[in-house]
Amino acid sequence: MSKFAGKKAVVTGGTHGMGLAIVKALLDGGAEVLYTGRNEKKIEEARTELKSDKAHVVRSDAASMADIRGLADTAQEKLGRVDYLFVNHGIAEVQTLEETTEESWDRHFAINTKGAFFTVQSLSPLLNDNGAIVFTTVANDLIFPGLSAYSGSKEAVRAISHVLAAELLPRKIRVNSVAPGYIKTPTMGVAGMTEEERRDFEKQGADTSPLKRMGTVEEVAAAALFLAADATFTTNVEFPVDGGFAQGLTGAH
């Protein structure tokens, strides 16, 4: 496959889960990819798994402005110009209203929101005209007890993406979002769960998604790549990959 031959991409949060699936799909299509992670163990695992001279992993913390600037320098050095930027990194912690601490609140907004915005700001000069940005948001009509900080931080990203779609229009850079529902990933997107909690969460996901199963990371990657490469007359939309969860569908009787 050479659909993305000659294309260059940056994927933040690319060492595991949905981000890693996006990286793999890009590599399969012949693109050169710079991807980031924060956890050293996951970085090593991804490096070992991908073993491609077209894949460059860099340790970068989306909550660190120094790291974000460093990422832009690395992107310039390794890739030169960039065609597709996938702002995919993010954290989620389940904390109810009573449990939510200021530290947790700030961590969500620092990584998910501020980190997303400044990643775009830092990499924007490298983006080619006619390129694309794809944010990973969330099927946010799906209301979850205990995810105030997470949902707020992702909704902010969605709002920021609207403005960036307008601001980057003169450069013909499209800005869209992919909005996953329940997707089967190693962490299920939520940090700090016990094995039992994770199993319950998976079961809940499969039971409550109208399609009666969880989505796969490959399904998210397919939508992200569609938005980046194929949806050339589409900007400022959010593409749900949620098994119908947030689409107002009620199961048949």
Interface positions with other proteins (CB under 8 A): 162, 165-167, 169-170, 172, 181, 210-211, 215-216, 219-220, 222-223, 226, 230-237, 239-244, 247-252
Amino acid at 198: R
Q: Are 118 and 159 in contact (CB under 8 A)?
A: no
Q: Are 107 and 66 in contact (CB under 8 A)?
A: no
Query: Measured from the CB atom, is 101 or 247 closer to other proteins?
Result: 247
Of residues 35, 84, 150, 182, which has the active-site annotation? 150
Query: Measured from the CB atom, is 60 or 182 closer to other proteins?
Result: 182
Nearest distance from C-beta of residue 249 to other proteins, angstroms: 4
Query: Measured from the CB atom, is 146 or 244 closer to other proteins?
Result: 244
Nearest distance from C-beta of residue 97 to other proteins, angstroms: 30
Query: Measured from the CB atom, is 66 or 252 closer to other proteins?
Result: 252
Q: Are 22 and 222 in contact (CB under 8 A)?
A: no
Contacts 24+ apart (CB under 8 A), 191-198: 191/91, 191/92, 191/93, 192/93, 192/94, 193/94
Phi, psi (degrees; rounded to nearest 5) at 153: -65, -35
Mutual orientation of helices 65-78 and 115-123 as an angle, nearest 10°? Answer: 30
Amino acid at 175: V
Tokens of 146: 């205990």
Query: Measured from the CB atom, is 147 or 223 closer to other proteins?
Result: 223
Q: Are 84 and 132 in contact (CB under 8 A)?
A: yes
Q: Is 150 annotated in the active site? A: yes
Nearest distance from C-beta of residue 234 to other proteins, angstroms: 5
Alpha-carbon distance 188 to 22, whole Å? 16
Tokens of 171: 């450069």
Cβ-based neighbour number of residue 133 at 10 Å: 28
Alpha-carbon distance 208 to 120, whole Å? 34
Query: Measured from the CB atom, is 194 or 233 closer to other proteins?
Result: 233
DSSP state, 183? Answer: B
- Catalytically active residues are 150
